[in-house]
Structure 1
Amino acid sequence: MNVLWRNALLLYATSHVLFMAHCFEEDGVPEEWMLLHVVEGQIGAGNYSYLRLNHEGKIILEMESPKGDADLYVSAVTLHPSFDEYELQSTTCGQDIIVVPSYFQRPVGIGIYGHPSHMESEFEIKVYHDRTVQTNPFSEASYDSEEREANQRKQNKPQDAPPEEESILWTILMMILKVVLESLF
């Protein structure tokens, strides 16, 4: 059983590294991404800081925590997302990246959470606009939410894994990650 958990954790770590390598080119970010803002700050353990995103289109949030561990929560429903109420999250111990889809209702709430494992965390968020995405309100209106989610899942899944296997692996990986984080903190 331990071998299964270890392999699942290794698979998750490998997929995360491959995703990061795919997202970023050697010189930083893809040419299609335009830097809009850089936000720096500090957050105390167990506290939230909130930002509001008003820019339209596909937005990429890239956050580094040079000191401590800050986590990102994003919501199109509330301007004060938390680990209980969010649509998108990135809670890694390193670089956090969230892609805010163009169809999210604006303004989008961004919550930065200072993980309790550190008394204080520093963060730097770079906000990019992906200019490759053409925003056509008529094309987005023709999609219903189920079709949009299905298309996103197709784009994000590895080509060699069957859908059932990927779903099971993803569930197992998320369970492992939760257990590890709960046992560490």
Structure 2
Amino acid sequence: MAASWKGALLLLLAAQAVPRAGCAEEEEVPAEWVLLHVVQGQVGAGNYSYLRLNHEGRIVLAMRSLRGDADLYVSDSTLHPSFDDYELQSATCGRDLVAVPAHFRRPVGIGVYGHPSHRDSEFEMRVYFDRTVQRHPFGDSAYADGAETSHPHAYDPEGASQEEESVLWTILISLLKLVLEILF
């Protein structure tokens, strides 16, 4: 029994070491993304830091936690989104990425939440303009109103598998953290 717990602990430590090794390097982004801003900040445990997005078009928010665990909540209906009131969110233990569709009303509210597992969370958010044009497989007539789809990976099987992999890693790490909390 103790051997299985030791194995689970080693797996948890290895899973947490992999994302941190990748954060040391500059993350690659597609050539179609144009960097608009870099925002750095910090937020206390259980609190929010709010930002406002005014740029038009499809905007990608790429945030990484430099210390602690910051989560990202986005809304076009409120300037103070939270985990109870949001349209888009990314609440991973690593890199958080949200693509804000062009059809969202501006200004868009951005909430950065400091996870209570850490006293303070420090983050860096890069704001990109995505110049790629999404084409519908049945032709341009499907976009008669000019709105983009709210599902960026709807026609991208490779993107869907990456999203599923990210969700699985998040679930695995959460379960392992729970096991560690029970043990210690």
Using the size of structure 1 for normalisation, the TM-score is: 0.65
Q: Tell me the equivalent position of 1:98.
A: 98
Relative to structure 1, the CA distance from residue 82 to residue 160 in structure 2 (aligned partners, 3 Å threshold; closer, same or farther) is closer
Q: What fraction of aligned residue pairs are identical, expressed as a percent?
A: 59
Q: Which has the higher helix share?
A: 1
Q: Tell me the equivalent position of 1:40.
A: 40
Partners of 1:153 and 1:109 lie apart in 2 by 23
| Residues 41-82 of structure 1, C-alpha deviations (whole Å, 9 max, x = no match) | 111000000000010011010001110000000001111000
Using the size of structure 2 for normalisation, the TM-score is: 0.66
Rg larger in 1 or in 2?
A: 2
Does residue 141 of the first structure (1) align with residue 145 of the second (2)?
yes
Structure 2's unaligned 5+ residue stretches are: 1-14, 20-25, 135-142
Structure 1's unaligned 5+ residue stretches are: 1-12, 18-25, 162-168
Q: Tell me the equivalent position of 1:79.
A: 79
RMSD between aligned residues:
3.8
Q: Tell me the equivalent position of 1:28.
A: 28
Does residue 116 of the first structure (1) align with residue 120 of the second (2)?
no
Flag as ranges the 4+ runs of structure 1 deviating above 6 A.
none
- Number of residues of Structure 1 aligned to a counterpart in Structure 2: 150
| Residues 141-161 of structure 1, C-alpha deviations (whole Å, 9 max, x = no match) | 266x9xx35x74632445999
